[in-house]
Structure 1
Amino acid sequence: MNNKKSIKMLSKGPKVVAIGGGTGLSVLLRGLKEFTSNITAIVTVADDGGGSGILREDLGMLPPGDIRSCILALANTEPIMEKLLQYRFKEGRLKGQNFGNLFIAAMNDICGGFEEAIKETSNVLAVTGKVLPMTLEDVTLYAVLENGHTVKGESKIPLKNRELSSRIKRVYMEPEISYPLVETLKAIEEADLIVLGPGSLYTSVIPNLLVNNMVDTIYNAKAPKIYVSNVMTQPGETDGYTVLDHVNGILTHSREDFLDFVIVNIEKIPEEVLSKYASDGSEPVVLGKDDEEILNSKGIQVIKENLIDIKKEYIRHDSKELSKILIEIGRRIVQGC
């Protein structure tokens, strides 16, 4: 297929809004861009750990880490450029800092604002679609645990939760009033498909729902709402969670009839790979005995597929297979089937 024909086909693909953050969202985006160029990624900016946290504190800017990963996932650039923007310094005062984060920090200063910096970075890297921060407010994430404790800070939630061995009851953000970009609301309203996840449930996916007007805008959009369940539980965040527990986390922070579909992996993971994850307290996310029946009773259709991709003993979603499922749902909606 020649390049012009390929671009033309991608431009006719469904309008997909993908909501989340971290590794999960960037993995999905790499698959989606093979099928459509009409992608809008809405990315959490609640991160306060690692190199992003340092830049946030030192420069007073929004954390660039998750945004960077999503931009690179949608970028059409040379492999050496991606290696450069993913490079992490190993020595000196910059040890642990990511070059891509520094690049966005420089653009933030040059452009005079985070929103413009992301747009210009996307232009430089020939990004397919758009990458938008969930808000331009400087937000802090809090988690209320079932034992009554409140934990401040996205990076501290899993650590403190493991220490106290208590499930997360709910999360919230301060300041309470934060607004999405107008561009974000427009993309959601015009979408053919709205996808939440995969990604850390309470620290990557749900924070996007805490921004003012987001739940109502998503709910009122004509597009089907799909949650992609994680493949593995996250220690200190979703220990012991089944698929239903993940979905209930979404519904608790939105509304009972918020989702139309949930996509679930049913592929068996090799024991030698599982043992590595088990040592960290992580296990496969499975459908509990009555999960599917309960989800169906809520009006949520369960789609079960083999969706595992293992590279260097790391378990990820198979981005192409996952994207095929999503695009097929989107095409059926576009064609009115």
Structure 2
Amino acid sequence: MERLRGLSPKARGPRIAVIGGGHGLSNMLRGLKRYTENISAIVTVADDGGGSGMLRQDLGMPPPGDIRNCLEALANTEPLMSELMHYRFTEGSLAGQSFGNLFLAALNGISPSFDTAVRRMSEVLAITGRVLPVTTADVQLEAEFENGASVVGESKIFYCKKKEDCRITKVHLIPEHPKALPEAMDAIREADLLILGPGSLYTSIIPNLLVDGIVEAIQSSQALKVYVANVMTQEGETEGYTASDHIAAIFQHSAPGLFDLCLTNSSPIPRDVAARYAQEGAEPLRYDAGRCAALGVELVSRPIATVENGYVRHHSENLARELILLHAERSVRIAGEDFRKDSYRLERKQ
């Protein structure tokens, strides 16, 4: 069993800022909260599909879905409250809608701002750390493709890419350069460990970097900066991409050298699972270390993947443990104080 020696993992854990969106981010947060109370999840608000999209259109509020998922991942509530937040209506005009989304929408209605509503929901759920929308501006995501086609709307990018059958060359926000939430920039600057991903490259990670002030905050941060690569390529977004293709796309939309470490998976993917993904044009991400090195990024490979119900996912606990280990091995700043690396040792499972 893994253990921390001489240092309480929660009370004295590192200050961690994570940037992204989607289920990959919330899954990672479930593991990270075991090691520190100092978590700031900075979440994209470009989603316009599903229940979030309906509330965004009907109420004119930022999409709550990704933020709700992060709040639930960090929550410390009774089982009944957790079940209630996960509940989805099955009939009538609310069919498919999450109670958690509606709860956040109601809080938004009685709060002076969306970030205040998120903070109030954080208090109700007694979360570990905090969840911050990257911006409170009403933004849409537009994608441009190699053949000159373009589409507006995060939920439409998948279908447009399948139709055009060529790579995405650029995404940008409408309106461009929305202002970042000040608390999000502060969390990035003050972090000991800064994590990008895991999540969809063009629809969960890069949109955050297009918000005015975020890239500059990352560049000024003294944190250890790690990009968590996806385990598989993603149908309708990154078919045929290698690790260096992901990194190059991030740098293209932000700045070269934004991070210098990329955490990748070394766990084997079962053949039958890989074959099913191949039918959809997806495959295990190929780690082209030479091209990554040319971009100034070191690949670090660890066993961080698992298979759940036939789908490849990051293993929440293993991913969190490896990130904490990376911080311990490469950094001497722990929870705002200076410690020698050997004062913060975490044993890996054999």
- TM norm structure 2: 0.91
The alignment partner of 1:169 has SS state of strand
* C-alpha distance after superposition, 1:90-131 (max 9, x if no partner): 111111111110110011112232111100100000100010
For residues 281 and 83 of structure 1, do their structure 2 counterparts lie closer, same or farther at Cα, with a shift above 3 Å needed? farther
Checking the alignment, whether the CA contact within 8 Å between 2:141 and 2:172 is kept in structure 1 is: yes
Match of 1:314 in 2: 311
Checking the alignment, whether the CA contact within 8 Å between 1:201 and 1:246 is kept in structure 2 is: yes
Checking the alignment, whether the CA contact within 8 Å between 1:180 and 1:211 is kept in structure 2 is: yes
Shift of 1:270: 1.1
Shift of 1:150: 1.3
Specify the code of the residue in structure 2 equivalent to 1:211. V
Specify the code of the residue in structure 2 equivalent to 1:218. I
Match of 1:272 in 2: 272
Shift of 1:83: 2.1
> Does the alignment pair 1:295 with 2:303?
no
Match of 1:214 in 2: 214
Question: Where in structure 2 are the equivalents of 1:156-175 lying within 5 Å?
Answer: 156-175=156-175
Looking at structure 1, the residues matched to 108 and 32 of structure 2 have their Cα atoms a distance apart, in angstroms, of 27
Match of 1:3 in 2: none
Match of 2:255 in 1: 255
* C-alpha distance after superposition, 1:126-164 (max 9, x if no partner): 100010001000001001111111110000011101111
Question: Where in structure 2 are the equivalents of 1:19-58 lying within 5 Å?
Answer: 19-58=19-58
Looking at structure 1, the residues matched to 226 and 238 of structure 2 have their Cα atoms a distance apart, in angstroms, of 19
Match of 1:111 in 2: 111
Question: Where in structure 2 are the equivalents of 1:215-254 lying within 5 Å?
Answer: 215-254=215-254
> Does the alignment pair 1:82 with 2:82?
yes
- Structure 2 unaligned spans of 5+: 1-5, 334-338, 342-350
Specify the code of the residue in structure 1 equivalent to 2:87. Y
Match of 2:321 in 1: 324
Looking at structure 2, the residues matched to 281 and 89 of structure 1 have their Cα atoms a distance apart, in angstroms, of 33
> Does the alignment pair 1:130 with 2:130?
yes
Looking at structure 2, the residues matched to 177 and 33 of structure 1 have their Cα atoms a distance apart, in angstroms, of 32
Shift of 1:16: 0.6
The alignment partner of 2:24 has SS state of helix
Shift of 1:7: 11
The number of residue pairs the alignment matches comes to 329
The alignment partner of 2:209 has SS state of helix
Looking at structure 1, the residues matched to 239 and 26 of structure 2 have their Cα atoms a distance apart, in angstroms, of 23
Shift of 1:295: 1.7
Runs of 4+ in 1 over 3 A off after TM superposition: 6-9
* C-alpha distance after superposition, 1:5-29 (max 9, x if no partner): x995402111110000000100110
Checking the alignment, whether the CA contact within 8 Å between 1:104 and 1:117 is kept in structure 2 is: yes
The alignment partner of 2:161 has SS state of helix
> Does the alignment pair 1:73 with 2:70?
no
The alignment partner of 2:154 has SS state of coil
The alignment partner of 1:199 has SS state of coil
Specify the code of the residue in structure 2 equivalent to 1:170. K
Looking at structure 2, the residues matched to 214 and 9 of structure 1 have their Cα atoms a distance apart, in angstroms, of 28
Specify the code of the residue in structure 2 equivalent to 1:80. L
Specify the code of the residue in structure 2 equivalent to 1:173. L
Worse-matched range after superposition: 269-278 or 153-162: 269-278
Checking the alignment, whether the CA contact within 8 Å between 1:266 and 1:286 is kept in structure 2 is: no
- TM norm structure 1: 0.94
Specify the code of the residue in structure 1 equivalent to 2:85. L
Looking at structure 2, the residues matched to 162 and 122 of structure 1 have their Cα atoms a distance apart, in angstroms, of 38
Specify the code of the residue in structure 1 equivalent to 2:308. K
> Does the alignment pair 1:178 with 2:175?
no
The alignment partner of 1:166 has SS state of coil
Looking at structure 1, the residues matched to 217 and 84 of structure 2 have their Cα atoms a distance apart, in angstroms, of 37
Looking at structure 2, the residues matched to 253 and 193 of structure 1 have their Cα atoms a distance apart, in angstroms, of 22
